[in-house]
Structures are given as C-alpha cells and as structure tokens.
Amino acid sequence: MRLNKYIARAGICSRRAADELIKEGLIIINGQVSTDLSYQVSETDKVEYNQKILTIKKASLYAFHKPKNCLTTKFDPEGRTIIYDLLPKELENYSPIGRLDYNSEGLLLLTNDGELKRYYELPKNKILRTYKVRIFGKLLDSDKKQIEAGVTIDGIKYQKQKLKITQIATNSWLETSLSEGKNREIRNIFSYFDHPVSRLIRISFGK
C-alpha cells in the first residue's frame, strides 16, 4: 500500500496532507526517516508519526449530537467546551467530518479514516446536509425565491437551496439542504434578509 494511503487509513489525515508529512521528514519507517512519496508499505514495516506506531484500523463512523456552546476542535485557547470533552475517550483520535459552529447543534459525524473524511467533505461529491433552522420573523415569499435561486453576499456566491417552511409564527422554522458548507453560510444568508438565525440544527448528513 502506498505510504500516503497507509497514513490516511491510519486516521492521521488525508492523502494530500500525508504527502506533506512525508516531504517534511515527519514519517519514520523501520527507524529511518522516509521522504519517498512512492514508498509501498509492506506487512512487516513499522511506520511511525509523532512517536506513535501507525496501524490501519477498520474504517468506522460515529454519530454524535453536538450541543450548542461547544466547539468542533481539538483545543481552544479560551478554555471553552470542545467536542472531545463530551466524547468517549476511545474516540479521541477520531476526526470530525466538517464542522458545526459554536452556536449550532445536531448531527456531527466523526471517523478514524482520513480518506473517508476527505470524501465526505469535498464539495464535488455533493453530499447533502439537511438543517432545521429557526429564524426571527416571517420570511417573505420573494426572499425565499431569491435564496432558492442562489444569492451573492459581500462577493461570496452561495449555492441554490431548497427551502421548506414548516412553521410560521413570530419565529419561523424552516428546513434546508446544502451540498457544501461555506463558513456560517446559513446564518449569513438569513441575516442578509433581516431574519437572524436563532437556532440551527443539523438533522441529516448524506442520503
């Protein structure tokens, strides 16, 4: 198995990121630094990174309900709650697929497979994420049509969305699905139309 694939399958990072680790001389094979991108790992090889022996584990996914006021990160210099404070210790080496911002909640997938993580995150693979959204006020039909057609805000083009309004009141509930997730995309769009998001919950990831 090619070295970068082995590193990715060990859950360290994607293949592309693994190439950088190899180039930087951070991968040790049988006690020697290896910078050979074409190296084929055999069953008898001992591959190390960061003073740890890498082993390929069966690819697995873990579904976690991320609460609000929690960061999707390994470390926060401000000492706020992070997902790893809430996850079982055996998942400390799992990586989140994508992320939910601090104030968002709902389904967050984690994996020990770098290749699987990259596949789910690449926009070209069009993996749908569905969200329940609560906004202040009632969304005008004209605004809904603009959002569904795709809007450009501050030079950033946001993709088309299919909105489903599930409850109309002082605060309205909607459902929307995206196949890519620009930073704070849903919040930015609704704020642009003067309907700030008061709650954002991811309810599904993929079909």
Which residues are catalytically annotated? Answer: 101
Q: Where are the alpha helices (DSSP H) in 90-184?
A: 114-121, 141-149
Helix (H) or strand (E) holding 50: none
Beta bridge partners, 27, equal 49
Which residues, at least 6 apart from 86, have a Cβ–Cβ distance to it below 8 Å?
64, 67, 70
Sign of CA dihedral 76, 79, 81, 83: positive
CA 121 to chain centre: 6
Question: How many whole angstroms separate alpha carbon 86 and alpha carbon 71?
Answer: 11
Question: How many whole angstroms separate alpha carbon 110 and alpha carbon 197?
Answer: 26
Please give the angle made by the CA atoms of 170, 197 and 154, to the nearest 5 degrees.
130
